[in-house]
Amino acid sequence: MLNSSEFNHNLLAWYQANKRTLPWRQTRDPYLIWLSEVMLQQTQVTTVIPYYEKFITKYPDIDSMAEADEEALLKDWEGLGYYNRIRNFQAAVKEVREHYGSTVPEQPEAFFSLKGVGPYIGGAVQSIAFNHLLAAVDGNVLRVISRLDADDRDMTKASVQKDVKKRIEEIIPLEAGDFNQALMELGATVCTPRAPKCIMCPVQEHCEAYSRNIVSELPVKKKAKRKNELFYNVYFILNDRNEILMRKQEGTLLQGMYELPKYDVDTSVESIEEDLGLTIDTSGLHIGSGKHVFTHQVWFMEGYMLHTRDQHPDFVPLEAVEGLPMSRAMQKIYGQFEVSDERM
């Protein structure tokens, strides 16, 4: 049970001796800590490192981030997914520039009011940058706490996560930032989902699940819902000027990203012509297939090449496509086109 100063001491001492050297741990700059936490939310450390290095070079401070061109920013973020993260981050950074003189607010209420700042980002940044006594509860922390407390409640429930946050804030020491990072580090490197290394765990003597031999039963998570399977035809619509039709997304989670026109597999060519406002003059040559797994959906895509002689404002030169921000799903199917193009 984590209820003692001895627990805190053991955890912090282990963290100081064993923490991984990560680029965002080399800075005290609240903006860079915030940027790293936005990237780390839902993305693994090894994936984040090269993106973080690129971003701190291109957007080293609040002003450069606030002034960045959105399309260039999305292009730089390409591959990290969850594109709302970077759009919200830039919006929040603009607020910081406008209302707080380009200084990340040190008052939790002010910071939590910024766009995209939820309990995790807020707790992580405010504790790591300013040592406010706030918890930062991510998947690693939920797993660690469920085992330490032998808590068999469903850890995916918001009410349980709120309780865990409260629980941590009851014991969080003055070194709040290190404490939060230590819990996350323990979850990432020792108290792992499968085969946790209890034998080398610095807080084993405080662990209820270990003492009751029920580690493998925790955390309890309700069965994940089956992912929705969606089947699309994706169209490479070319004209005589070596241009391809790419649509910029509006009002979706992928806002600002470009995609090839895609339709449910049973959509007729006539409906596509009507939707796009142009006439297709060849039937489709099959280019290839692609599959992409999102958090709640799986896309199965079949790519077809079409030709038109009509004008359309969404045509872009083929050589410009590489510079456009595209989701990973679209990149996969677009890659099929590039392969078939090389073979021709």
d(CA 144, CA 279): 58
Please state the closest distance from residue 115 (CB atom) to ligand SF4, in A.
35
Closer by beta carbon to ligand SF4, 150 or else 230:
150
Closer by beta carbon to ligand SF4, 219 or else 325:
219
Q: Catalytic amino acids? A: 37
Q: What is the DSSP letter of 62?
A: H
Buried b (16+ CB within 10 A) or exposed e, 221-233: eeeeeeeeeeebb
Closest CA to 324 of 336, 314, 339: 314
Residue 204 interacts with ligand SF4 (CB under 6 A): yes or no: yes
Please state the closest distance from residue 1 (CB atom) to ligand SF4, in A.
11
Please state the closest distance from residue 300 (CB atom) to ligand SF4, in A.
39
Which single residue is written with the structure tokens 């910029």? 248
d(CA 336, CA 262): 15
Please state the closest distance from residue 193 (CB atom) to ligand SF4, in A.
11
Closest CA to 220 of 155, 164, 165, 158: 155
The mark string for 123-162 relative to ligand SF4 (x by CB under 6 A, - otherwise) is: ---------------------x--xx--------------
Contact 3, 149 (CB under 8 A): no
The alpha carbon of 324 is separated from its chain's Cα centroid by a whole number of angstroms, namely 20
Which of 177, 196, 261, 290 binds ligand SF4 (CB under 6 A)? It is 196
What CA dihedral angle connects 28, 32, 36 and 37, to 10 degrees?
70
Stretch that binds ligand SF4, among 79-87, 199-207, 229-237, 251-259 (CB under 6 A): 199-207
Q: H or E stretch including 122?
A: helix 119-130
Q: How many residues bind ligand SF4 (CB under 6 A)?
A: 14
Helix (H, G, I), strand (E, B) or coil at 279: coil
Residue 215 interacts with ligand SF4 (CB under 6 A): yes or no: yes
Stretch that binds ligand SF4, among 160-168, 197-205, 245-253, 295-303 (CB under 6 A): 197-205
Which of 7, 77, 210, 299 binds ligand SF4 (CB under 6 A)? It is 210
Which of 201, 257, 301, 333 binds ligand SF4 (CB under 6 A)? It is 201
Please state the closest distance from residue 161 (CB atom) to ligand SF4, in A.
18
Which of 133, 171, 198, 321 binds ligand SF4 (CB under 6 A)? It is 198
d(CA 7, CA 168): 12
Q: Which residues in the chain belong to E strands, given as ranges?
A: 228-238, 243-245, 247-248, 258-259, 262-264, 285-293, 297-307, 315-317
The mark string for 63-82 relative to ligand SF4 (x by CB under 6 A, - otherwise) is: --------------------
Helices and strands (H and E) in the chain: how many? 14, 8
Closer by beta carbon to ligand SF4, 7 or else 315:
7
**And the tokens for 151?**
């808590």
Residue 219 interacts with ligand SF4 (CB under 6 A): yes or no: no
- Residue ranges that bind ligand SF4, judged by CB under 6 A: 144, 147-148, 190-191, 196, 198, 201, 203-204, 207, 209-210, 215
